[in-house]
Chains A and B, each alone.
Chain A
Amino acid sequence: MTSAAEVSTAISASALTKHYDDFVAVDGIDLEVERGELFALLGPNGAGKTTTIKMLCCLLRPTAGTASVMGHDVSTDPLGVKSVIALSPQETAIAEHVSAWDNLSLMAGSHGIDKATAKARSGELLEMMGLVDRADERVKKYSGGMKRRLSIAMALVTEPQVLFLDEPTLGLDPQSRRAIWSYIEELKGETTILLTTHYLEEADALADRIEIIDEAKIVALGTPDELKGSISDGQVTVVEAAGMTADAIEALRQTYPEVKATATGVEIEGSVVNLYDIQDVLRPRGIVVESSYQKQVTLDDVFLELTGKQLRE
């Protein structure tokens, strides 16, 4: 075992695999997360993100491969792993019949943190999460957003070295989602965070690096800009034209092999597009270009490019 102070890599996984009989939930993924990094696993539901997190948190035994957290091996030193991590699970994981104070004390106590420290940290977190006024109430009376904020606070009260946030904003309204993003932003740099999400905007806004996972496999890794830049020059030209036909798209493909049909017309990778050429193709077919503009490549475009599927919020 390596001491926590010595390791620069907070999370490391090599060929990590999980099978359930014939079903492959995670298929030999590799992962290197640096200390203090906010790393996102992005992928659709069922891609294998939660299973990966569960193996890293010692809740699931890997079928094959190895993984370690702050130098502690998940298979041979689970208590070492558990002493440096905290998990905020996908579902709101709170005790409903006790107060927010009790919930936070439960997590702090389970990590062996003394009462005075637990109380001080709990007070700060309740303040930060806007729960201090109702901290003595039983949490079953809380709204969904309040419960989720408490659930995240429960992961923070132990001041973990590595924080696993599994879909932290799933099902929340945009306002609550942005509030949680700002809490996560505050932790960046100090705490290593592994975030799973299927919200593209979330990964784009928060993550230092993103690993895209689909059908149990890693399909891409990079910073948000690197991933978006992997498609042409990071720009997409959108051409809106009603009545687009397959014949017209095929004709456009002679000049722009990456052309894609959309609900309102076509999209062409890159910013260097000659609109006159496009009109020359479309006009003889009775199709009129209504507008054209350029937009930044999104992670959705990257996901579509890599997997042939769209990952919508």
Chain B
Amino acid sequence: MRSAELTKRNFKEVWRDPISLALTIGLPVLMLVVLQALKNADDFFSPSSLAPGVAVFGFVMLMFSAAMSLSRDRESSLFSRLLTTPLKPSEFATGYSLPYLPVAIIQAIVIFAIAAVFGLEISGSAVLVAFILLVCAVMFIALGMIIGSLFTQNQVPFVYMVILLLAIFGGAWVDVESIGGVFKTVGDWFPFAHALSAARDVMSTGAGFSDVSGDLSWLVGYTVIIVGFALIAFRRKMVE
């Protein structure tokens, strides 16, 4: 597979940047610990409700990291050189996105392990929760690829802020259900609300696959579209 060496190189680049890695995994953990320390009787701050939101926060950070890395690489002469090889857009996309998947999995495991210390309980299928989070991770990494392909390093932080706001509207760390109104309406247009709703329903109420299939359709549908756009973005950037 021609993209294997590119994947390997990018994997090493990701794992040899310890500060970025520590922030990507450490900040969500810190957030979880702080929110647990501040929690009151509110159900929203229970570990079962909070863990998926914090995992999404971690994925948003990973998206930022992936976007910055790709944007920086794109402006390098190494990237120009790689563009003169027979690598196809899909192989480029694989080579740049795959190295972030293990980071996302470790993030989620660490967050859920710490949430377990605070009393996390999963009423439903843990496999279903893992599947939802995996699709979510793929979606955010693909978003990172789109952002990194289309925006410069100076522009990436602003786009990151927009995605972060949309994730907040999706109910990542605020109880949008109780706020309602325009926040909820806007949040429901995007996949973040549906991913969180599905994960929380499985964890808190023991909902099964068929119960969350509506939310899952939103999430998977958006993920397919975003991955498709990521491929188009790579293709467009291959010849100026």
Query: Residues on A close to B: CB < 8 A?
Result: 54, 57-61, 78-79, 82-83, 85-95, 97-98, 102, 105-112, 138, 154-155, 158
Contact = CB atoms under 8 A, between A and B. Distances in A.
B110 interface: no
Contacts of B240: 59-61
B3 to A, nearest CB: 8
Contact of B84 (A57, A92, A106, A138): A57
Given A59-B83, A93-B76, A112 B13 contact: no
A89 B78 CA distance: 8
Contacts of A102: 8-9, 12
A81 to B, nearest CB: 9
B85 to A, nearest CB: 4
B80 interface: yes
A253 to B, nearest CB: 48
A112 B84 contact: no
Contacts of A106: 5-6, 8-9, 82
Given A58-B84, A98-B12, A154-B81, A109 B239 contact: no
Contacts of A85: 84
Interface of B: 2-6, 8-9, 12-13, 16-17, 76-78, 80-88, 239-240
Contacts, number: 84
Contacts of A82: 84-86
B81 A93 contact: yes
B177 to A, nearest CB: 45
Given A59-B240, A97-B13, A106-B5, A112 B78 contact: no
Contact of B12 (A91, A97, A154): A97
Contact of B87 (A57, A90, A110): A110
Contact of A90 (B2, B8, B77): B77
Leading 5 A-B pairs by shortest Cβ distance: A109-B5, A93-B77, A110-B85, A91-B77, A93-B81
A161 to B, nearest CB: 13
Given A88-B81, A97-B12, 7 more contacts: A59-B239, A85-B84, A87-B84, A97-B17, A98-B9, A111-B86, A112-B86
Given A59-B240, A111-B86, A105 B76 contact: no
A83 B88 CA distance: 12
A111 B86 CA distance: 6
Nearest to B4: A109
B84 A86 contact: yes
Contact of B85 (A89, A91, A107): A107
A78 B86 CA distance: 8
Contact of B80 (A59, A107, A112, A154): A59
Contacts of A60: 239-240
Contacts of B6: 106, 109-110
A254 B80 CA distance: 55
Nearest to B5: A109
A95 B78 contact: yes
30 contacts: A54-B80, A59-B83, A59-B84, A60-B239, A60-B240, A61-B239, A61-B240, A82-B84, A87-B81, A87-B84, A88-B81, A93-B76, A93-B81, A95-B13, A97-B13, A97-B17, A98-B9, A98-B12, A102-B8, A107-B81, A107-B85, A109-B6, A109-B8, A110-B6, A110-B82, A110-B86, A110-B87, A111-B2, A111-B85, A138-B16
